[in-house]
Structure 1
Amino acid sequence: MTSELLNHRVEGPASAPPLLLGPSLGTSYALWDKVAPELAAAHRVVRWDLPGHGGSPAGLIGPGASVGDLAGPVLALADSLGIERFAYAGVSLGGAVGLHLAVHHPDRLSSLAVICSSAHFNGAKPWEERAALVRREGPAGLAESADARWFTPGFTVPRLVQDHREADPDAYAACCDALAAFDLRDRLAEIAVPTLAVAGRQDPATPPAHLREIADAVPGAALVEIPGASHLAPAEQPEAVLTALRTHFGGPVRRGMEVRREVLGDAHVDRAQARQTPFTARFQDFISRYAWGEIWTDPTLSRRERSMVTLTALVAHGHYDELGMHVRAARRNGLTPEEIGAVLLQTAVYCGVPAANSAFAVAQRVLEEEAAG
C-alpha cells in the first residue's frame, strides 16, 4: 500500500460547500466533464479517480479489496484538502463508496446522491470471474464491450472507453473484488443523510429496480429515473443529471428561493415563476442561485443595509420598474418610509436631482399603495 492520494481535480470557489464526485469502474473523473463545471458554480467540486484509473496510483488497493478500502482514500483526500463534511455523488462503484460512507462515516456526509448504482451488484460470481479475466488478460478486451454495457445504442464517449482500456489490471481486478463483496441492503435504513437515487431507465447493469430498492429503504430518500440513459448517465444525459443534482444538493438555489420570497414576497415570486419559459429558465436559476442564494445570504451586510444599497444602485441606473419592487422589499426588510426617503435624498446628491425626482415619484406611489392596502 502507499500513502499517496487519489488523483483528483478541484473546481469552484474554495469557500463554497464541498461536493465530491465518484466515478464508475473503468472510467476516470472525465465521466463528470459535462456536469462538474456547472456544479462548480455553487460548490467546491472535487472529482477523483479510482486506484489504477486515470492518474491514481494502482497501489492504493490490492487483491481482496472492499468498498471500505476505496472509501478510506476518499476520506484521506478530503482530509488533505481541509474538508470535514461534504456532499457526495457517485456513479456505480462510486455510488457504492457513497453508500459505505453514509453507513460507516455519517459524520462526514451532508447529503448523498447514488447514480446508476446499487446496494449490491448481483452476487459475487460475475465479479470474481471478471477479476480473474482481467488479471489474466488485462482490461483491453473488456473495453471492446464497454459501449454496450455503458451507453444506449449508438452513443459513446471515446475518452471513457480509452480510460477502461488503460486501467491498471491489478487495480481494476481489486475493484471487481470490492464489488463482489459489497452488499449493504441490511444497512440502508441506517442512512440518515438526505439521499437521492438516480436511475438510467435503459441501464442493464444497475436497472431502475436497484435504485428503487435504495430509495424505498433509505428514510426520506427520493428517486429520479432518467430516460435515454444507460449506466453512465452523467456522460449520456448530463443536463438531466445536473438538474437532479442541483435540486437535491440545493444549497444556494433552495436557500436563494427562500430568501427571494422573504424579501420580495410570495406574490411577486409566484408571478415570476408563472412567466418562466424554457428560454428564461436558466436565467431564473441564475438569479435564485447567485443573487439570492449567494449575495443576499451573505451575513456581512444586514438585509436593511442591502435594501439601501439596492435602492441607490437602481436609482443610479434608472431602473425605476425594479425600484418599485425594491421599495416594497425595503419595507419588508424593516426600513421606514422616512429612511427610504433619506436614502433617495442621498441619491439626489450622488446620482443627480432628476434621477432622485423620478425615484421619489415611484416610491411615493408604492408607499401610498401600501398604506391604502
Structure 2
Amino acid sequence: MRTVGVEEELLLVDPQSGTTRSVATRILRIAAGAPATALPGHLGGSIAHEVQQQMLETNTAPHADLRELADDIRQCRDRAVVAARGVGARVIASGSSPLKAEPRLFRDPRYERIADVFGTTASEQLTCACHVHVAVESDDEGVAVIDRIRCWLPVLIALSANSPFWHGRDSHYASFRSQAILRWPTAGPTDVFGSAERYHAIVAAMLESGVMLDKGMVYFDARLSHHVPTVEIRVADVCVDASHTVLLAALARGLVEMTARSWRAGETPPPVTASMLRLASWQAGRYGVTGNLLDPFSLVPRPVADVVGELHEFVRPALVDTGDDELVERGIAAVLARGNGAVRQRAVFARTGSLPDVVADLARVTSGQDAL
C-alpha cells in the first residue's frame, strides 16, 4: 500500500484584530523546546518556517493508514496552536488572509535571494497550500503518474478552495490562491513529459535558464519531490477542516495508484494541453463547488457533482483496495452538501459583516473546536 503524507501551510494571526502577525521565529523556538509529553502519541510530524514570518508549515510523517494520517494532521495543528498561543497568536488554515496583510520575509539566505530576483511576486507571496506526497516506486512511475493525473487536478482545486478574500475584499474566486500562485514562472499545469528523462531534462533546462534558481522552485501542479520518493500534488488550498485534508489525501493516493496501473497497462496519457488545463483550473478556482466544472477530458462545463462523482468512480478500485471508499464517499457528500472552506468563509461574512469574525471562525475550525 502506498504511503501518503501532507504538508499544510498555516497563517498566524492576532486573536483580537484578525490581522496576520510576524511571529514565526518565536513560535518555532517554543515548538522546538516543547517536551515530547506535550502531545502524547505524536506520530512523527514537524513544524517548520515558510517564506513569510506570518506563516508556518506542518509536515506529517508518511502513513499507509489514513486514520493515522488524520491523527498526525490534527496533532501537527495542535502543536502549532499551542506554540502560537505562547506568543499571543492564533493559527488559521486559510489559503489567503481575509484581512489586508503586509508580508514580512523570513530571514533566510534562499528566501532573500528569491525576493531579490522576483521582487513583488515574492514580497507579496502570502498564500497557504496543502501539498500531498504519495509514494512512487521510481521516477519512471512518478512521471507516468504526473502525465496521467493532470486532467483530474482541477477537481482537487474545487474541493479544497478556501481563499475567497484577498486584501480585505471578496475576490469573487473560491480559491484566489490558485490564481496568485500563477505569478511564478514555473507554476501551473504541465504538458505530457513522456518519460523521466524528459522531465529531468526540462527541469535542468529551467535551471540553466537562470530564471528558476533551484529545484525547490519547480512549482508544477504535480512534481517529483526532490528529496523523497514521492509525487507531490500541489494544487490544493490548505483546508480549514482537517477532515477535508484527509479526503484530499485519499483522493490523491487513489489517483496515483490508478494512473500507475494505467501506465503499467500500456495506456497513453489523455491528450489534453496545458493551455486547456489552465482553463479547467481557472474554472475550479473561480467557482469551487458552487458552479460548473470543466469535464476532465472534453473540457466542456458540467455540474460539479457529476465531475466529482466521475473522479470518485475513477479512483474507487484503489479506494476499495485500501479500505478508504466509505471515507471518501462520506467526505465528498459532506463537501457537496455543506460546502468547502470558501463557502464557510463567505457564509460567516454574510451573517456578521465582519472579516475579523471570519478569521475567528477559521481559528476555531482549524484548532478542532468546530467543524464544517
**TM-score (normalizing by structure 2):** 0.27
Q: Which protein is bigger by CA-based radius of gyration?
A: 1
By relative contact order (CA 8 Å, sep 6+), the higher-ranking structure is 2
**TM-score (normalizing by structure 1):** 0.27
